[in-house]
Each structure stands twice: as structure tokens, then as C-alpha cells.
């Protein structure tokens, strides 16, 4: 007898469905874990993030402490990954190096900001790139032509050369590395955002905003930008990978952070001399670190992209 | 052919599931039907009811995440489920063909039409090139393609939509298939083209004796081509029978509901009220196997409907229905419910003769320039010399085929498009600038409702925010009361408070459209421009949105300009109608007058093309030749003269039509026709749509 009222309840539940804040914030993780690729990538990336955040608790050594009695050692109980040519602990240098990439951004000697150098570089690239892309895509016409041709010109310069030019011109420091990463990354992001904007601006909700007489700025940043979120996040992950790589390259060429700060690139460069001398550890570990972090970020981005497009 | 087994196709207890992120979801359950040689079976239902899934299951085209979970599909006595891909491929090409909704997507854009057509024969039948060529030319002639030799050399993008669909049908018929599956083949086409394609389908049926499965959401179309009909709802067949049985004595509440929410060409808003079906099609995970699938939307629900699931059972010879109460509905005529005796819930029209029109458009021209090559520009005359007035509280309907300038006209009024020449007066003020340069108090008076429910709302923000934005921008209410007002607007469009926090992706098409209407209402405009607001919606939802618009008009005295390509919908909602063709108005006047003689020949042709889901209405058949000419160089004189079926009625064969644009004939107060034919001749024409007197 009570079945009809039960049925009404079923309609009622449908109307009342609302997600709690907790389940909302967990949704991206559910997405990551539904893809094996993304899960592996996520594990690698979180390993490096956790290790670098808790670096001071994970090693008794400072990255600059030199143990003169034990240069170029292999892994041992005292030094889990061995030491370099000055007897510095490689594990400590490795995880403090990760800190600079992923967790802290040393602006000057006394000041550092949370968020690593690579992340800041990509964030800056996003800021510049998406602004240019939005303007170019939404306004169209000659503005679009000028912006895009300039960016094309920049894209046509080989990336390594551009990094070298910029850092050599600006000087080697964390801030300048961030600037270089931003300048190199911006054109690609601008292209991506422009493409998305061209699609989104034909939608009716943009028409609706225009018929309300909204300003271009409002339409670009409030109506269009939030809808480019998905592809941009995935692109940004890949770009953090490129930035890690770029930092490694710059460090290797002596244009990274000034010594003695622990920098993966310069660690490889220094350690390179001792590979044939029987101590490959100093070059091996930072190389593995760079490779694993870049691969991890790529796996994460690829997995997410696959998962997002799978059921469409 | 196989005489012993007279069925082409036998589908039994077919169930199909799709894999999604949430797991396997059943899209189709226990569908059974069979199809005799030469029979046409129509499958109707709203979107999401599994119509296309059935078709895809037959040709095993479910995609990587779909699978037939149970049941059998026998084609000419041979089991298809579980057949290997290669065997199926052979069968598909030789004996089963499929025609899809979008002809452009079905043709390969980089191959010439001829190559694509001939490939079918050379690949599947080992024809030589020359034989294949001749065969193809022959087939193109049979689908009434003008100039087939030239068409063979063209690329798909060089053909119009109607021509493309003809090519696709020709391709499907090349192998003389035993079974042709057509999945919404006319949905993307204009009414006039649709009518011609339907004629073609009928012709092919009699000529080739092919069995056809015709899938559509349009009841009028299905009534026209089918012999028998399956009505699908939420993945199940709820009713099955001959055309006459379904349309005259529908027995399932869902079928009856569908028929009641379609405006018929003979009805206007003062004579009938549409009855939408409440609620929406339940998503697959909510379809409980233990009760009637339609119970939550059914007006005749009883306890037994919830306790157990009804079976498909025969209540009349050849007429099966999945409802406990089927017999009782069988002899209650729908006609009584459609008739005018029912008291209208919505009050009479707010439209009255006023001395001053709210919107007055005089000789408006909107031209686009299109760059062809460097230095060469073409002028597209999207709107050319249009004059029309709308009185406050009235609805002006604008009809015409796609590309006739309806949308451009709206864009010019709202200020998204630059006016080339002519004037627009709104509340006695001239609108001569783009919307960005207009003062706020004009902007807020004119708002717009858009066509596509999926893009009308910004997916990034919850519903409430999107309604609040115009409230804040136009300062309709003080800041403190914005939220309250947004909730009031939601109520006005019949959505509950909880919709305030929902995101657009959580809403159905109809609900999104309601939010779009609420957003347009927020600034309390006196004029709302509706750009095909219901054409992308399912019929049941369409009725609800139409009723909502009329309610709003009655409550707030809002004026509407309503664009649609569906003449029945326009008739239902409008007080005045303007018929446009290639940027010009052909005929304008009070609704009643447009739909009865004297007609403009173009109006006449449009009316004759509308598919009507009522076997009691007879339509005269008038078909237009060719396509809408390009607006870049429109025909001289009367723009319609190249396709006009009535031109020969003029003494010299209509020479004047080529030379001179017609003057306006004022037939009656407000009713004007732009045609060279004398009124007397137009008056003599028979009405296109007539009720059969029984």
C-alpha cells in the first residue's frame, strides 16, 4: 500500500541530491585512481613532493656539509646514496634539490616563497600565456594576427637556445630561471587557450553575456577562462615536467642556481667527471631523479587526459 | 528470396549495456520485434530511450564500450549476435544498410561522390569500374538527383544537406539491401527538404520492396512513412502496433502523452492547451526492474504499477501494450482531449490592438561581407528590406528555412550585428548602435533566449549565480534581495529552490532551457527574442517550455519575437506570423490568416511540407524544386521565383517575377502578401491542410 508514497520519495531524493564538500574535493583523486597510468604517475610525483617537503626530517645532513674524509663514496649506512667529490651526502643534496624544484622558490638570499621554482615558472607562463591566448582568440582580427605571429616567431627558436639566451642575458638565479621558463612556456599555452577560446566564444552563453552588454574583460576572464580549466591543468602538468627538465639542463650547463645550493643539473655536471673514476653515484642519482619526476608528471597528465576523454 | 521465413529481422529479448565509469549500464532491455519483407517499422521515443542503441546493436556497431548482454537478433533466419566481425562486415555491406542523421558525417569529405558510391559496388560486389559507374548514375537518378554525372564528380561539401542525404540514401540502396536502417535521417534537414526525402523513402519502399527501420523522435514523420510503430521509453518497448492503432487508439499513457504534447498544425493557443508529460526520462541507473518504468511520470498510476512490472501484452489484434490499464485507454479518444471544450488554464492572449507598436522595424538591411580571396569580397544580404511591427504583449513568430535571415534579424535587433540600412525603433527610441554602446536601460529591456540548451548556460557556474548576474548588473533589485529574487525567478520557471546550487551538467535539456528563460526574465525585459528555443528539445519538454513562455506573457505582458522552423509550434504560440525567404518577408499577418488561403506560394509549400501526427488530417502535396539560392547573389525580381510552384498561373509564365520585386498586397488589415499573383487567384487555391470529415 505504501508503495506509491515510496515512489514519491524516490522523486524527492532525486531533487535533493547534493554533494558534500568532502566528496567534491575527493573527486579529482577518484579520477586519478580510475586510471592505472595516472595512478603510477601520481605515486612518483607524490613521492618527490613528500620527500622534499619533509627533507629536514629525512636526513641528518645539511646539503652543503662537507665530509672531507669520505669523498666519492658508494651507498653505505652513513650515506644511503653515497657522497660526492667533496664528501657531501647525495641523499641530502638530492632531496634538498627537489625542494627547490617543487617546494620553495628562493627569490633572494633572505626570502623564499612556497611553491617550487618549476611550479612558479609554469604559473607565470600560464598567467602570460592564457591572457594572450584569451585576448587573441576572443578579439580576433589584427590583434590576433599580431599576437600569434609574434608567438610563432618565439616558438620557432629552439627551446634550449632560448633558455640559454635568456638566462645568459639575465644572469643565473632562481628568479631568472622562473622568467625563462615563463617566456618559453607562454607561447604554447597561448596557442592552447586561443584554440579553446575560439570554440567557447561561439557558445550561446557568451552570446547571452554580450546581450547583457558585458565588457570584453568580463567575458574573457569570467565567462571563458573557467571553461578552459580541464585542458589547461593537464597541459600545465606536462609543462612542469618540461620545466624540471629545463632546470636540469640549465644547471648542467652552469646556468642554474649558483653553487653551493643543491641543484640536480649541476650535480650531474660535477659528478660526470668521476663516472669513469669508479664513482658514478654523484651523476646517477640526480639523473634518475630528473627522469623519474618528468616521467611521473607525463604519466599523470596522460592518464588524466585519457580518463577524461574516455566516456565521451 | 527466402519464402519459408517471411521475416527479414527477428529481434528477441534484446538487452544492451554500455560500460561507463560507474560500471555497466543497461540502455536497452528485453526489446522484441520483427519485421516482414517490405514492411516499414517506425521506432519513436524521446532522446535517451534507446532507439539508436537498438539500431546499432543490429549492425553490431555499439562501439568499444557497448555490448549485447542477452537476446538474439536473427537476420533472414541467421543469428547475428556473436558473429565474427568479418562475417558481419560482409553482411552489413551486402544485405543491411544504414543511413545516419548527419549526412556530412556519413560521407568522406576528401573523396568525390562518384568514388564513394562506386566503392560500394566494386568492393562488395566485384563490379568493374564501368558497370559500377553506370549503376551509380542510375541510382542517383532514382533518388531524383538532378544532373547525376556532375554530382559524381563533386565533393560532399559542394552539395546541400538535402542532396547529401540523397547521396547517402543512394549509397545505402546500391546493394539492394534487404534491410535499411534509417536513424533520424531527416532531423538535420529543413521541412521542405525533409518532405522531399520522406517522399523518396516512400517511393523506394514501393519500388525496391526493402524493409525499413525508421528511427525518429518526430511523431509526424513516423506517421507518414511507417506501417507499424514501436514506441520506446527508457530502453523498453511500451507499445507496438499498426500506424492507425497507435495514432487513433493509443493505449499506453506515454504514447498518449506524447501525442498530446505536440501542437498540431490546426491548433492555436486559444483553442488548445498542450499537456506536457511531467518529469523526465529516468537515467538507466534509476530504472527499477520491479515496477512499471513509466510509473513515476504517469498520471494514471496505481499501486499495482509500483508493485510489479507490466508485460507487453496484446489488447487488440496486432496491438501490444505494456500497461495494466491498456484496455481502458483504448477507446477513450484523444480527440476529445485535444478539442476546445477543455477550459484553458492559461488566460486569453494579452495581445491587443495598440496605437503604438513596441518594436517597429523599417526597411532593415543587414549585410555581411565575406572575404573570398585577397581583394575579392562578397556581400551576403542576410536581411534585405524587412519591415515588421510588434505590438506590446504580442508574439511575433518568424518562420522560414535555414539561411533565410531569421537569426540575423534577431541579432540586429539586440545589437550583435551592425545594421546596414533602415531603422529599428524600440519604445519610440531608435536603436542604431551595437549592444556595447547602448545604455543599460535599453539593454535590460531586450533579452534573448537561445536555441541550444547545452550551450545556453555556462558550465562553470551553478544555476543561481547565472541568474543573479543580470540581477546585479542591471540592479533590478537591491543587493540584499538578489538571492531572494533569483529563487523567485526559479519558481517562475517552475524549478525548485534546490536548483540554485546545481551545475548545468546536472540538469536536463528542458531544465537548462528554463534556467535560460529565467536568466532572460531577470532584468524584467519588455521584449524577449526567442531563437528556436524549443527546436532542440524533446516533444514532452517542448510543450512545457511553450506553456511556460505563454504563462510568462500573461503574467508580465512580455512581448516575444519567436523564431522557429516548425510551423505547428509557431502557429501555437504566435499572434502574428512573418514568413521569411532569403532575407525578405514573403507574407506577414495575424496567425489565423497565414494558415488559410490566400497564401503566398512559399507559405503554401511550407505548410504542405509539415509532417502532421494525425491520420485525420489530409495535406495537399506541393514540393519545391531545388535548394534555397545563395544569399550572396539572390535571384532578381521576386526572390522566390526560381522555386515558385505557382508562377505558371501568371499569364506570361511569370516573366514579371524575374524582373520586378513584387509590391505588397494588403489583403486585410495587417495581412500582407508580397507576390505578383492577383489576390483573386491566391484566394481560389484550396487550403493545404484539411480535417477529413468523418
DSSP B417-462: S---EEEEEETTEE--S-GGGS-HHHHTTEEEE-S-HHHHS-TTS-
Residue B601 has pLDDT above 80, yes or no: yes
The pLDDT of residue A75 is 81
* Separation of alpha carbons A85 and B250, rounded Å: 90
State the pLDDT at residue B361.
92
User: What integer pLDDT is reported at residue B689 of this predicted model?
Assistant: 78
pLDDT at B43 over 90: yes
- In 3D, which of B600, B609, B590, B672 has the Cα closest to residue B638? B600
How near does any CA of chain A get to the CA of B47, in Å?
17
- CA distance linking residue B537 with residue B544, whole number of Å: 10
Q: Do B456 and A205 touch (CB under 8 A)?
A: yes
How high is the pLDDT of residue B692?
64
Beta strand B313-316 with B664-668 is unpaired
Give the number of A-B residue pairs with CB atoms closer than 8 Å: 79
Please tell me the distance in Å from A29's CA to the nearest CA on chain B.
14
B229 in helix, strand or coil? strand
B429-430: strand order across its sheet: B376-390, B359-373, B421-426, B429-430
Q: How confident is the model over B33-62, as a mean pLDDT? A: 87
C-alpha cell at B440: 543599460
In a domain, B463, yes or no: yes
| Residue from A293, A272, A292 nearest A283 by CA | A272
Task: Quick: pLDDT tens for B86-105.
Answer: 877 777 767 888 888 888 88
Per mean pLDDT, which range of A23-37, A121-135, A190-204, B217-231 is the poorest?
A: A23-37
Question: Residue B342: is its pLDDT beyond 90?
Answer: no
Give the contacts of B494 (CB within 8 A, at least 6 positions apart).
Answer: B514, B544, B548
Alpha-carbon distance A25 to nearest alpha carbon in chain B (angstroms):
16
pLDDT of residue B335: 59
The residue ranges of DSSP E strands in B63-178, in sequence order, are: 66-75, 78-79, 96-99
Q: What was the pLDDT predicted at B348?
A: 56
The kind and range of the H/E element at A257 are none
A206 φ, ψ to 5°? Answer: -70, -40
Tell whether A298 is covered by a domain.
Answer: yes
**pLDDT exceeds cutoff 70 at B126:** yes
Give me B180's grid cell. Answer: 535499411
Q: Label residue B340 by pLDDT band (50, 70, 90).
A: very low
Say yes or no to pLDDT of A6 above 60. Answer: no
Of A126, A138, A133, A165, the C-alpha closest to A151 is A133
Beta-carbon separation of A211 and B447 below 8 A? yes
pLDDT at B346 over 70: no
Residue-wise burial string across A285-302, b where 16 or more C-beta atoms lie within 10 A, e elsewhere: bbbebbeebbebbbbbbb
Residue A149 touches chain B, beta carbons under 8 Å = no
CATH assignment of the domain containing A197: 1.10.3720.10
For residue A74, tell me if it sits in a domain: no
Q: Are B595 and B263 in contact (CB under 8 A)?
A: no
Side-chain-side CA neighbours of residue B681 (13 Å)? 14
Three cell numbers, residue A10: 524516490
Predicted pLDDT of residue B647: 84
Whether pLDDT at B42 is above 90: yes
How big is chain A, counted in residues?
Answer: 312
**Looking at the complex, does the CB of residue B414 fall below 8 Å from at least one CB of chain A?**
yes
CB atoms within 10 A of CB B147: 10
Residues of A in contact with B501 (CB under 8 A): 18
* Predicted ipTM of the assembly: 0.81
Residue B567 within a domain: yes
Please give the residue that has the higher pLDDT: either A235 or B509.
A235
CB B530, CB B560: distance < 8 Å:
yes
Which cell is B56 given? Answer: 546499432
B186 with B49, same domain: the answer is: yes
Instruction: Answer whether 0.80 is exceeded by the pTM.
Output: yes
| B566 has a pLDDT exceeding 80 | yes
Measure Cα distances from B556 to A205, A276, B270, B511, B525 in Å: 24, 87, 18, 21, 9
Burial of A101: CB neighbours in 10 Å, binned 0-12, 13-18, 19+: buried
A118 in a domain, yes or no? yes
CB contact under 8 A, A205 and B457: yes
Mean predicted confidence (pLDDT) in B345-352? 60
Interchain CB distance below 8 Å, A7 and B459: no
Alpha-carbon distance of A188 to B503, in angstroms, equals 31
Statement to judge: residues B72 and B115 lie in one domain: yes
Q: Are residues B204 and B290 in the same domain?
A: no
Q: Which of A179-193, B93-107, B341-355 has the lowest mean pLDDT?
A: B341-355
Structural domain boundaries, residue B300: 259-338
Does residue B488 lie in a domain region? yes
Query: Residue B400 pLDDT more than 90?
Result: no
Percent of chain A with pLDDT over 90: 36
Tell whether B22 is within 8 A of chain A (Cβ): no
Residues 30-89 of A with CB under 8 A from B: 34
Closest alpha carbon within chain B to A209: B470
Q: Are B186 and B137 in contact (CB under 8 A)?
A: no
Average pLDDT value for residue range A51-79: 82
* Final residue of a structural domain among B178, B204, B226: B226
Q: How far apart are CA B38 and CA B118, in angstroms?
A: 26
- Angle at B196 (CA atoms; ends B192, B143), nearest 5 degrees: 145
| A6 interfaces chain B, CB cutoff of 8 Å | yes
Domain presence at residue A178? yes
Which of B118-127, B473-482, B509-518, B610-619 shows the lowest mean pLDDT across its residues? B610-619
**Domain count across chain A:** 1
DSSP class of residue A285? H
3-state secondary structure at position B38: coil
At B180-210, the pLDDT tens digits run 999 888 877 788 888 888 888 888 888 888 8
pLDDT of A11:
41
B167 and B58 inside one domain: yes
Q: Which has the minimum average pLDDT: A225-229, B338-342, B414-418, B568-572?
A: B338-342
Cβ–Cβ gap A212/B501 under 8 Å: no
Residue A305, pLDDT > 90, answer no
Instruction: Name residue, grid cell 653515497.
Output: A82
Question: Is the predicted pLDDT of residue A14 greater than 50, yes or no?
Answer: no
Residue B583 has φ and ψ, to the nearest 5°, of 85, 0
Quickly state the pLDDT bin for A48 (edges 50, 70, 90).
very high
Reply yes or no: is the peptide bond before residue A260 cis, omega within 30 of 0.
Answer: yes
For residue A307, the chain B residue with the least C-alpha distance is: B21
Residue B201 shares a structural domain with residue B296: no
Whether A127 is in a domain gets the answer yes
Q: What is the pLDDT of residue A221?
A: 94
Residue B415 within a domain: yes
Q: Which of B12-16, B506-510, B585-589 is predicted with the least confidence, judged by mean pLDDT?
A: B506-510
CB B420 within 8 A of CB B383: no
* A77 domain-assigned: no
- Please check whether residues B411 and B546 belong to one and the same domain: yes
The total number of structural domains in chain B stands at: 4
Instruction: Give B244-301 pLDDT, tens digit per residue.
Output: 888 888 889 999 888 888 887 766 666 667 778 877 788 777 788 888 888 888 888 8
Q: Are B391 and B351 in contact (CB under 8 A)?
A: yes
Question: Is 90 exceeded by the pLDDT of residue A297?
Answer: yes
**B354 confidence band (pLDDT: 50, 70, 90):** low
Mean pLDDT rounded to a whole number for chain A: 84
pLDDT reported for residue A13: 40
Query: Per the domain annotation, does B589 fall within a domain?
Result: no
> What is the CB neighbour count within 10 angstroms for residue B596?
11
CATH of residue B456's domain is 3.40.50.300
Minimum Cα–Cα distance from B472: chain A residue: A212
Which of B514, B547, B580 lies at the terminal end of a domain, its last residue? B580
The CA distance from B408 to the nearest CA of chain A, in Å, is 13
Mean pLDDT, range B142-169, rounded to an integer: 85
Question: Would you say residue B303 has pLDDT above 80?
Answer: yes
DSSP single-letter state for residue B543? H
- Residue B83 in any domain: the answer is yes
Place of cell 600569434: A148
Residue B336 has what pLDDT? Answer: 52
Over the Cα atoms of chain B, what is R_g? 26
Helix ranges, B493-559 (H): 509-521, 539-556
* A226 to B460: CB separation less than 8 angstroms, yes or no: yes
Q: Is residue A21 part of a domain?
A: no
Answer yes or no: do B487 and B602 share one domain. no
- How sure is the predictor about A17, in pLDDT bands with cuts at 50, 70 and 90? very low
pLDDT band for position A216 (cuts 50, 70, 90)? very high
Domain-located, residue B154: yes
pLDDT for position A41: 92
Q: Please choose, from the candidates B580, B537, B587, B530, the residue with its C-alpha nearest in 3D space to the C-alpha of residue B560.
A: B530
Q: What is the mean pLDDT of residues B144-162?
A: 85
pLDDT band at A4 (very low <50, low <70, confident <90, very high): very low
Last residue of a domain, one of B580, B609, B630: B580
Which alpha helices (DSSP H) does B474-538 contain, by range?
482-492, 509-521
What rounded mean pLDDT belongs to chain B?
A: 85
3-state SS class at A299: helix
Q: pLDDT value at position A22?
A: 66
Q: pLDDT category, B412, cuts 50, 70, 90? A: very high
Strands (E), B21-132: 23-36, 40-44, 66-75, 78-79, 96-99
Residue A292, SS3?
A: helix
C-alpha B148/C-alpha B139 separation (Å) is 9
How many Å lie between the alpha carbon of A4 and the closest alpha carbon of chain B? 6
How far apart CA B55 and CA B62 sit, in angstroms, is 9
The answer on B296 and B188 residing in a single domain is no
Is residue A3 assigned to a domain? no
Cell of B414: 539586440
* pLDDT (tens digit per residue) in A236-287: 999 999 999 888 888 888 887 777 778 888 888 888 888 887 788 888 888 9
The rounded distance, in Å, linking the Cα atoms of B466 and B450 is 15
Among B460, B497, B520, B563, pick the best mutation site for testing chain A contact (most A Cβ within 10 A).
B460
Q: Report the candidate in B14, B20, B19, B29 with the shortest Cα–Cα distance to residue B287.
A: B29
Report the pLDDT value the prediction gives residue A220, as an integer from 0 to 100.
94
Tell me the three state secondary structure of residue B364: strand
- Domain of A108? 27-64+83-310
- Residue B299 and residue B373 in one domain: no
Average pLDDT of the segment spanning B565-577: 88
pLDDT at A225: 93
Span B375-391, mean pLDDT?
A: 86
pLDDT at A132 over 80: yes
Same domain? B193 vs B113: yes
SS3 B588: strand
Q: Is B353's pLDDT higher than 50?
A: yes
Distance, in Å, from the CA atom of A211 to the CA atom of B530, rounded to the nearest integer, reads: 13
Q: Which three cell numbers stand for residue A243?
A: 620545466
Collect all residues of chain B within an 8 Å Cβ-Cβ radius of residue A7: 291, 295-296, 301, 306
Distance CA B45, CA A63 (A): 70
The side-by-side arrangement of strands in the sheet containing B7-20 is: B23-36, B7-20, B66-75, B78-79
Cα–Cα distance for residue pair B48/B281, rounded to 1 Å: 7
Q: Give B338's contacts (C-beta < 8 A, 6+ positions apart).
A: B260, B264, B267, B272
pLDDT at B199: 87
Do B152 and B221 lie in one domain? The reply is: yes
Q: Are B491 and B615 part of one and the same domain? A: no
CB atoms within 10 A of CB B22: 9
CA distances from B209 to B138, B179, B201, B457 (A): 18, 10, 11, 47
Evaluate whether residue B433 is within a structural domain: yes
Amino acid at each position: 500500500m505504501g508503495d506509491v508514497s515510496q515512489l514519491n520519495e524516490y522523486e524527492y531524493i532525486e531533487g535533493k541530491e547534493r554533494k558534500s564538500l568532502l566528496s567534491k574535493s575527493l573527486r579529482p583523486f577518484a579520477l586519478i585512481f580510475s586510471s592505472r597510468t595516472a595512478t603510477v604517475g601520481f605515486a612518483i610525483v607524490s613521492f618527490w613532493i613528500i620527500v622534499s617537503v619533509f627533507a629536514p626530517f629525512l636526513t641528518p645532513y645539511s646539503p652543503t656539509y662537507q665530509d672531507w674524509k669520505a669523498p666519492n663514496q658508494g651507498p653505505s649506512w652513513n650515506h644511503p646514496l653515497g657522497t660526492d667529490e667533496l664528501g657531501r651526502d647525495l641523499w641530502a643534496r638530492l632531496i634538498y634539490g627537489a625542494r627547490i624544484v617543487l617546494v620553495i622558490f628562493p627569490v633572494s638570499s633572505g626570502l623564499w616563497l612556497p611553491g617550487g621554482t618549476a611550479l612558479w615558472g609554469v604559473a607565470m607562463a600560464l598567467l602570460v600565456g592564457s591572457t594572450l591566448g584569451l585576448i587573441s582568440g576572443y578579439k580576433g582580427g589584427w590583434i590576433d594576427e599580431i599576437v600569434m605571429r609574434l608567438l610563432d616567431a618565439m616558438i620557432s627558436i629552439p627551446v634550449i637556445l632560448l633558455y640559454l639566451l635568456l638566462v645568459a642575458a639575465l644572469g643565473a638565479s632562481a628568479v631568472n630561471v622562473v622568467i625563462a621558463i615563463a617566456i618559453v612556456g607562454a607561447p604554447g599555452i597561448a596557442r592552447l587557450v586561443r584554440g579553446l577560446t575560439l570554440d567557447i566564444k561561439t557558445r550561446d552563453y557568451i552570446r547571452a553575456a554580450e546581450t547583457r552588454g558585458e565588457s570584453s574583460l568580463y567575458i574573457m576572464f569570467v565567462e571563458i577562462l573557467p571553461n578552459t580549466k580541464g585542458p589547461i591543468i593537464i597541459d600545465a602538468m606536462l609543462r612542469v615536467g618540461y620545466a624540471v627538465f629545463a632546470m636540469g639542463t640549465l644547471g648542467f650547463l652552469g646556468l642554474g642556481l649558483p653553487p653551493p645550493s643543491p641543484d640536480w643539473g649541476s650535480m650531474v655536471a660535477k659528478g660526470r667527471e668521476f663516472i669513469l673514476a669508479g664513482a658514478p653515484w654523484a651523476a646517477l642519482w640526480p639523473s634518475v631523479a630528473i627522469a623519474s619526476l618528468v616521467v611521473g608528471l607525463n604519466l599523470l597528465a596522460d592518464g588524466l587526459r585519457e580518463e577524461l576523454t574516455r566516456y565521451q | 528470396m527466402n519464402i519459408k521465413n517471411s521475416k527479414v529481422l527477428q529481434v528477441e529479448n534484446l538487452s544492451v549495456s554500455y560500460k561507463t565509469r560507474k560500471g555497466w549500464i543497461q540502455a536497452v532491455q528485453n526489446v522484441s520485434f520483427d519485421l516482414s519483407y517490405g514492411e516499414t517499422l517506425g521506432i519513436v521515443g524521446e532522446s535517451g530511450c534507446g532507439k539508436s542503441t537498438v539500431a546499432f546493436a543490429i549492425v553490431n556497431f555499439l562501439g568499444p564500450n557497448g555490448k549485447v548482454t542477452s537476446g538474439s537478433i536473427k537476420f533472414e533466419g541467421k543469428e547475428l549476435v556473436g558473429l565474427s566481425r568479418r562475417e558481419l562486415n560482409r553482411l552489413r555491406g551486402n544485405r543491411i544498410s544504414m543511413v545516419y542523421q548527419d549526412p556530412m558525417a556519413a560521407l568522406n569529405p576528401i573523396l568525390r561522390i562518384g568514388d564513394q558510391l562506386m566503392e560500394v559496388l566494386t568492393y562488395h560486389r566485384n563490379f568493374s569500374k564501368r558497370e559500377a559507374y553506370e549503376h551509380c548514375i542510375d541510382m542517383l537518378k532514382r533518388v531524383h538527383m538532378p544532373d547525376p554525372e556532375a554530382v559524381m564528380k563533386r565533393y560532399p561539401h559542394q552539395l546541400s544537406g538535402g542532396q547529401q542525404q540523397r547521396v547517402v540514401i543512394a549509397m545505402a540502396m546500391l546493394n539492394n539491401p534487404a534491410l535499411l536502417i534509417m536513424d533520424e535521417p531527416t532531423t538535420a534537414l529543413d521541412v521542405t527538404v525533409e518532405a522531399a526525402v520522406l517522399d523518396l523513402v516512400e517511393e523506394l519502399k514501393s519500388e525496391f520492396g526493402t524493409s525499413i527501420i525508421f528511427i525518429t523522435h518526430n511523431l509526424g514523420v513516423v506517421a507518414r512513412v511507417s506501417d507499424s510503430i514501436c514506441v520506446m521509453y527508457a530502453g523498453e518497448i511500451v507499445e507496438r502496433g499498426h500506424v492507425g492503432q497507435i495514432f487513433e487508439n493509443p493505449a499506453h499513457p506515454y504514447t498518449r502523452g506524447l501525442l498530446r504534447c505536440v501542437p498540431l498544425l490546426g491548433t492555436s493557443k486559444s483553442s488548445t492547451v498542450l499537456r506536457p508529460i511531467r518529469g523526465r526520462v529516468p537515467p538507466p541507473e534509476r530504472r527499477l526492474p520491479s515496477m512499471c518504468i513509466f510509473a513515476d511520470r504517469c498520471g494514471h498510476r496505481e499501486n499495482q504499477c509500483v508493485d510489479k512490472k507490466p508485460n507487453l501484452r496484446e489488447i487488440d489484434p496486432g496491438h501490444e501494450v505494456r500497461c495494466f490499464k491498456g484496455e481502458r485507454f483504448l477507446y477513450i479518444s484523444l480527440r476529445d482531449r485535444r478539442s476546445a471544450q477543455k477550459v484553458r488554464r492559461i488566460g486569453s492572449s494579452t495581445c491587443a490592438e495598440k496605437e503604438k507598436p513596441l518594436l517597429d522595424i523599417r526597411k532593415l538591411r543587414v549585410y555581411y561581407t565575406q572575404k573570398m580571396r585577397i581583394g575579392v569580397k562578397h556581400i551576403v544580404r542576410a536581411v534585405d528590406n524587412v519591415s515588421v511591427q510588434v505590438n506590446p504583449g504580442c508574439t511575433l513568430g518568424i518562420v522560414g528555412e535555414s539561411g533565410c535571415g531569421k537569426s540575423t534579424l534577431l541579432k540586429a535587433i539586440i545589437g550583435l550585428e551592425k545594421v546596414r540600412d533602415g531603422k529599428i525603433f524600440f519604445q519610440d527610441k531608435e536603436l542604431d548602435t551595437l549592444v556595447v554602446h547602448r545604455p543599460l536601460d535599453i539593454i535590460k529591456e531586450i533579452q534573448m533566449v537561445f536555441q541550444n540548451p547545452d550551450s545556453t548556460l555556462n558550465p562553470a557556474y551553478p544555476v543561481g549565480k547565472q541568474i543573479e548576474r543580470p540581477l546585479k548588473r542591471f540592479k533590478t533589485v537591491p543587493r540584499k534581495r538578489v538571492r531572494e529574487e533569483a529563487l523567485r525567478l526559479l519558481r517562475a520557471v517552475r524549478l525548485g529552490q534546490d536548483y540554485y546550487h546545481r551545475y548545468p551538467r546536472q540538469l536536463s535539456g528542458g531544465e537548462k532551457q528554463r534556467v535560460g528563460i529565467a536568466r532572460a526574465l531577470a532584468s524584467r525585459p519588455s521584449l524577449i527574442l526567442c531563437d528556436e528555443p524549443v527546436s532542440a528539445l524533446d516533444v514532452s519538454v517542448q510543450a512545457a517550455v511553450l506553456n511556460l513562455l505563454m504563462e510568462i506573457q500573461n503574467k508580465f505582458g512580455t512581448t516575444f519575437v519567436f523564431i522557429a522552423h516548425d510551423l505547428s509550434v509557431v502557429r501555437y504560440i504566435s499572434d502574428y506570423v512573418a514568413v521569411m525567404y532569403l532575407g525578405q518577408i514573403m507574407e506577414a499577418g495575424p496567425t489565423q490568416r497565414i494558415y488559410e488561403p490566400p497564401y503566398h506560394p512559399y507559405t503554401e509549400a511550407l505548410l504542405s511540407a509539415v509532417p502532421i501526427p494525425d491520420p485525420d488530417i489530409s495535406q495537399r502535396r506541393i514540393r519545391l524544386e531545388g535548394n534555397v539560392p545563395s544569399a550572396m547573389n539572390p535571384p532578381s525580381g521576386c526572390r522566390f521565383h526560381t522555386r515558385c510552384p505557382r508562377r505558371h498561373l501568371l499569364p506570361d509564365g511569370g516573366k514579371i517575377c524575374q524582373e520586378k520585386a513584387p509590391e505588397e498586397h494588403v489583403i486585410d488589415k495587417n495581412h500582407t502578401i508580397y507576390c505578383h499573383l492577383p489576390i483573386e487567384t491566391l484566394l481560389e487555391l484550396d487550403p493545404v491542410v484539411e480535417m477529413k470529415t468523418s
